[in-house]
Amino acid sequence: MTDEMSFRCVAGKVNRRVALQCWLIAGYAMIAFGLGPSQKVLAASTEGDNLKAENPNVYVADRLTYDDNLYRIPALEDVTSRVAPNATRQDLINTVSLGLDGQWPISSQAIVLKLRADDNRFFRNDALNNTSGSGILVWNWKLADKLSGQAGVDYSRSLASFANTLFFARDMVDRTEYLGSARYQVGPHWTLTGGIREADTSNSAAAVQVYNFHSKSGNAGIEYATSAHNTVAWDYSYTDARFFQAAFLSVSSFNPNYNEDTTRVLLKYALPSGATVIDASAGYLRRDYPNATIGAFSGDIWRVSVQWQPTVKTQLVFAGWRELKAYLDSESNYFVSKGGSISPTWVASATLTFSLAASWDDQNYIRSSSSALSLISRHDKVVADQVGVAYTPARSLTFNFSYRYEKRESNRAQFQYNDNLTSASLTFKF
């Protein structure tokens, strides 16, 4: 399907159902294309850990995405009055990507490199055209038999979500994170752990640079292992966060700089059958805003994930959580997240994989930003469902098709929206 044909699916006043049918036909065509055995491969973005030094993975990809609510605005609002006179609610986005995944072992050490650059072009809202990407460089180091760890840098650049800031122009979010960690094997069962992390997040648009953010954190803990798969650990972490324009936000009686202490107990346990793995953590988090009279939070946090693999070809993952979170492009806007998800996967054959995902998230904002500074605290509920198909007719070639529906309800009318997102992509590995 060419870009021109795809655009005709949404040109004029075609409704969402017709557009979705166009993409479903394209997806089924991809699945039907090509016969014959092939080796099942992982997605290009996750292969690097298994690559040999002499065979780094270079790939190109092309993805076409149809978004029926690009700016994430309420259904009854006119997009031209809310955003711009020439803006449209629906759009097609074409993304051309070039990437590299590789791992180079050096004695007992290893260097892991993952690079990806994306050129994103919008058919109608072309003021949003941008270049995004990501890069990860990690050194897995080891000293003698007892001391090991990681050192690295993680970079990403992406278009900010319009749902979080209500800023409806192009805003590119750059995040750079530096990390270092170490593990010291005290005995056959006990391990001491520790790490440091520093991160910078910046927004390109001047109107939202109040979210520019710098954080430093460190953690230390101890782990007890009864086997290679079963561990119990205790961990303490401390974070110091600073916003570059905190003085500007303080005119609204809020300075978002904060300090945070977190204590957790972590458990990983595999049932004797090996078909079920439990990964859980529970603890207590305290956050203080030294320069503000509002926004402080203290309370329990937890996360539980259960992975069940009843057969070789099927897997089901359940998860539930209560955590303090913020979106990357709105770092000062924190909320208590209580939710759950379920994600089944079926490997139908060596070439064909189906996946589903459903999640729900109850978000209570902690009155720590301009969107929460009012007599009534913001409260959102987000529900999302997704289906995906991956087809690999040859080791060098992968087709992916996905459809996602997301609905956000909020006691603030401007944050409510429904969105349908459909995409099809082709990845070729050299």
**What does the pLDDT look like over 298-311, one tens digit per residue?**
999 999 999 999 99
CA nearest neighbour of 339 among 365, 359, 358 = 359
Whether the pLDDT of residue 37 is over 50: the answer is no
**What does the pLDDT look like over 155-209, one tens digit per residue?**
999 999 998 888 999 999 999 999 999 999 999 999 999 999 999 999 999 988 8
pLDDT category at 27 given cuts 50, 70, 90 is very low
pTM beyond 0.75, yes or no:
yes
> Distance (Å, rounded) from C-alpha 280 to C-alpha 305?
6
CATH of domain 3-429: 2.40.160
Domain ranges of the chain: 3-429
277 with 229: CB under 8 angstroms?
yes
pLDDT category at 135 given cuts 50, 70, 90 is very high
Q: What share of the chain is helix, strand, coil (3-state, %, to 5)?
A: 15, 55, 30
CA nearest neighbour of 69 among 58, 80, 79 = 79
Of 237-241, 251-255, 288-292, 303-307, least confident by mean pLDDT is: 251-255
pLDDT category at 377 given cuts 50, 70, 90 is confident
By DSSP bridging, strand 57-67 and strand 417-429 are: antiparallel
- pLDDT averaged over the chain? 85
Higher-pLDDT residue of 150 and 296 is 150
> Distance (Å, rounded) from C-alpha 397 to C-alpha 394?
5
Cα–Cα distance list, 59 to 52, 96, 104, 382 (Å): 16, 11, 18, 34
> Distance (Å, rounded) from C-alpha 221 to C-alpha 194?
6
